[in-house]
Amino acid sequence: MIYPLQVVFILVSAVTLGAALMVVTTRNMVRAALWLVLALFGVAILFVLLEAGFFAVAQVIIYIGAIAILMIFAVMLTRRIAQDPGPQLNSTWPIAAVIALLVFGLIVFLVQVWDRAASLPPPLPQGFAPLQELGVALVSADRYLIPFEIASVLLLAALIGAIVVAWERK
């Protein structure tokens, strides 16, 4: 018995994986960035299928709207030729492929033995506003204030670091 949702899931996953493969195989950097947009969009649709609307929107706005577009800007600004002429595989790729397959097998095995994977999570109670809860949890001292604040400090440190790295010398 195949549900329509499963068909959608398989199609979206295939498109996401195919686009991700194109990101690393295409030689043109701008095209790679555009394939990345497609891959990220596929992930956003997966979030929709999981009924995680907020994550889907965040995925589109942050990853596609900001990060991928920034990447395209960076490629265009820094590279005169947006092509990668070098070889795409190095001599150790068979080992890497074997390891990747082994890890994939391990993950499949882990999901098989993981009892929680088979059980559906309980539905959310009536009137529960996940977005509001998330927002409140991030800024309440008795919830996740500390990681939120550290992440802010982390971003500031990264910002200063980026300026140090990129700033023109006098």
Partner 1 sequence: MWADRLAVLPVIVIGAWAVLLTVADLYIPEHRRRITAILAALGLIVGLVVNLFIQRHNPQTAYFGLAIADGFSSFLNVLFLLSGLLGIAVAHGYLQRQNIARSEYYSLLLFSISGMMLMGMAADLIIVFIALELLSIPLYVMAGFHRDRLDSEEAALKYFLLGAFAGGFVVYGIALIYGATGSTRIAAILSAVQSGSASPILLTVGAALILVGLGFKVAAVPFHMWTPDVYQGAPSSVTAFMAVGAKAAGFAALLRVFLLAFPTLSDKLVPLLWALAALTMIVGNIVAIVQSNIKRLLAYSSIAHAGYILMATVTLGQSRLMADAAAAALFYLLAYLLTNFGAWAVVIALEREEGKGLSIQDYAGLGKKYPALAAAMSVFMLSLIGVPPTVGFLGKFYLFRAVLEGGFVGLAVIGVLTSLVSAYYYLRVVVVMYMQEGEPVVNRDALLHWTAALSAIAVLALSLFATPLFQWATQATLYAAQ
Choices 2-10, 23-31, 57-65, 145-153 (CB under 8 A): range interacting with partner 1: 145-153
- ∠ CA(7), CA(62), CA(46), 5° rounding? 10
Neighbours of 97 (CB within 10 A): 11
The verdict on 144 binding partner 1 (CB under 8 A) reads: yes
Strand, helix or coil for residue 144: coil
Q: Which of 87, 94, 116, 132 binds partner 1 (CB under 8 A)?
A: 116
Residue 100 Cβ, how far from partner 1 at the closest point, in Å? 14
Number of residues that bind partner 1 (CB under 8 A): 27
The span from the CA of 83 to the CA of 22, in Å, is 14
Q: Find the shortest distance in angstroms from Cβ 117 to partner 1.
A: 8
Q: Does 104 bind partner 1 (CB under 8 A)?
A: no
CA atoms within 13 A on the CB side of 6: 3
Least distance to partner 1, CB of residue 29, Å: 18
Looking at beta carbons only, is 124 or 137 nearer to partner 1?
137
* Dist CA 14 CA 35 (whole Å): 13
Closest approach of partner 1 to the CB of residue 4, in Å: 28
**Residue 28, beta-bridge partner list:** 83
Q: What does DSSP assign to residue 61?
A: I
90 binding partner 1? (CB under 8 A): no
In angstroms and rounded to an integer, the radius of gyration of the C-alpha atoms of the chain is 21
Closer to partner 1 by Cβ: residue 120 or 165 = 165
Q: What is the DSSP letter of 51?
A: T
User: Shortest gap between Cβ of 2 and partner 1 (angstroms)?
Assistant: 26
Triad 110, 113, 117: Cα angle to 5°: 85
Residue from the set 77, 113, 118, 120 that interacts with partner 1 by CB under 8 A: 113
Rule CB under 8 A: which residues touch partner 1? 106, 110, 113-116, 141-147, 150-151, 153-154, 156-158, 160-165, 169
